[in-house]
Amino acid sequence: MSIQLSRKDIVWGYIAQFFSIAAGIIMLPLVLRMLKPNEIGMNYLMLTIGSMVSLFDFGFAPQFGRNITYVFSGAQVLQKEGVDINQDSTLGINYRLLSTMIHTARWVYRLLSLIVLAVMLTLGTVYIYRVTNGFTSVHNALYIWIVYSFSTFINIYYTYYTSLLTGRGMIMESKKAMVFSRLTYLLIGATLLKLGVGLMSIAIANLLAPFVNRFISERFFFTKELNEKLNAYEITKQEKMDLFKIIWHNSKKLGIVYVASYAITKLSMFLAGLYLPLHDIASYGLMVQFVTIISTVSGTLFILSEPRLSALKAQGQETQLLKTFSYSMGIYYLLFIGAGTGFVLLGPWLLTLIKSNVVLPATGILIVYMVVILLELNHSFFATMIVIGNKVPFVGVSLITAGVIVLGSFLSLAFTNAGVLGLVLVQGIVQLCYSNWKWPLVIFREFKINFITFIRLAFSEVYVRQKELYYGRSKH
């Protein structure tokens, strides 16, 4: 099966991002106006802790997704390193291998979600107790945290459905499920906020929305025809364990990298909770939230293209692989720089317009942070291209980088008055020393090109494909 990225996939991908952002945009004024600064600060800390424990995924989601793509692309066996390039198109899909993959994914995520729930209800509760002064600075803090913990449990448990859909190349279907899930989150959260339920509104909405995603995803993926083929096989425990060992080989490396990436991008929020007042944390969190939205939109095409990139790699189509990658990166550069400029210029004005109880950091900090994240996401996409080849060579570097950033952030918070600016500078300077240039260089060498050639190719592909898209529409 050839996995293609259709116009509908791209359209639904952006629709999904629109609703994800729309939910945030609609909810944000309500949150900023109807919640107290301490509640807003706790909200950002909950999100930070929730993303921290989600690291227990440990790289399984992308590994399952990529290997499912390999199976649907004709791979008859899965390897710990590299890709089994299938030259015999008559073999088709190995449904026994696919069934084993699905059974293994369910087992893994059942175990992971239970571990996450246990961690959140124990260590997470202790942390929330500390930052809310014994659950006193935020009304119903303990109950809010418990509901949020169970919502994280549900979110992680159903993660493998997204891997199934994207791995099969069902991008549009995956994004439809996301759209309706976000709509559910928006409707429940906004309604409860307007009814005066407070921060508990966010926790409840986050708890219920994943069930919608799961229901729709299951209907799309497990068609009657596919179920008949999958049910023909009785998968043994040994088969699942053997496949788990293959997946785990690179998942553990990716997991370490994700932990390191979390430390690089998010642990500063956790440390800030120990040294800065909640209103400063709210300001920092608001900046991070806005830039995350920009990053998500800008990188949407690359994320949508991953199954296609994996399939091209599995089929050995290197030229098309480079063109598809460069096109997605060209779109990323244009969108991030354009949206980032708008955010720096208009962000503070928009907050004043909605009468926000929280302000953004100074303009200089916003600009520096935008540059840091632009470079961070850029090298992350190049690193993903390395991973698409089923190789993870950057585990050690990621750990060292994360350790230096955590140490630098701690020293900045504990011994200087730099505050948020110190956190941003530490992250940017450490990344510039290695990762920002190293992983792009690896890909450039693999394709025997340089940075200038890549940029020219990226914008050339953007121009050509957008021109084809425009004239294609004009003909209709």
Tell me the per-residue pLDDT of 354-365, one tens digit each, with 9 for 90 and over. 777 778 888 999
Tokens 């891997």 identify what position? 163
Give the largest Cα separation in the chain, rounded: 66
pLDDT of residue 252: 75
Q: Is residue 74 pLDDT above 80, yes or no?
A: no
Return the higher-pLDDT residue of 427 and 78.
Answer: 427
In whole numbers, what is the pLDDT of the chain averaged over residues?
A: 83
- 180-201: b (≥16 Cβ within 10 Å) or e: bbbebbbebbbebbeeebbbbb
Q: What is the DSSP letter of 80?
A: S
Taking the chain, what is the end-to-end CA distance rounded to the nearest angstrom?
29
Token pair for 92? 């088709």
Region of poorest pLDDT, from 42-51, 142-151, 227-236, 381-390: 42-51
Average pLDDT over residues 239-264: 77
One-letter identity of residue 94: N
pLDDT of residue 81: 66
Return the higher-pLDDT residue of 16 and 369.
Answer: 369
Q: Is residue 458 pLDDT above 60, yes or no?
A: yes
Average pLDDT over residues 373-398: 86
pLDDT of residue 260: 72
Q: Is residue 208 exposed (0-12), middle (13-18) or buried (19+ Cβ within 10 Å)?
A: middle
pLDDT of residue 318: 87
In 3D, which of 374, 376, 372, 379 has the Cα closest to residue 422?
Answer: 372
Q: How many CA atoms lie within 13 A of 153 on its CB side?
A: 17
Q: Is residue 469 pLDDT above 90, yes or no?
A: no
In 3D, which of 393, 383, 390 has the Cα closest to residue 246?
Answer: 390
Q: What are residue 321's phi and psi, to 5 degrees? A: -60, -45
pLDDT of residue 189: 87
Region of poorest pLDDT, from 61-70, 127-136, 259-268, 330-339: 259-268
Average pLDDT over residues 55-73: 77
pLDDT of residue 476: 42
Tell me the per-residue pLDDT of 140-176, one tens digit each, with 9 for 90 and over. 889 999 999 999 899 888 988 888 888 887 878 888 8
Q: What is the DSSP letter of 121?
A: I
pLDDT band at 331 (very low <50, low <70, confident <90, very high): very high
Token pair for 212? 């919608």
SS3 170: coil
Region of poorest pLDDT, from 101-110, 190-199, 259-268: 259-268
pLDDT of residue 457: 94
Tell me the angle at which helices 419-432 and 267-275 cross, rounded to the nearest 10 degrees: 150
Q: What percent of the chain lies above the pLDDT cut of 90?
A: 25
In 3D, which of 197, 176, 204, 191 has the Cα closest to residue 11?
Answer: 176
In 3D, which of 56, 150, 64, 46 has the Cα closest to residue 106?
Answer: 64
Q: What percent of the chain lies above the pLDDT cut of 70?
A: 86
Region of poorest pLDDT, from 33-47, 53-67, 238-252: 53-67
d(CA 402, CA 408): 10
pLDDT band at 120 (very low <50, low <70, confident <90, very high): confident
pTM: predicted TM-score of the whole model, two decimal places? 0.64
Return the higher-pLDDT residue of 310 and 5.
Answer: 310
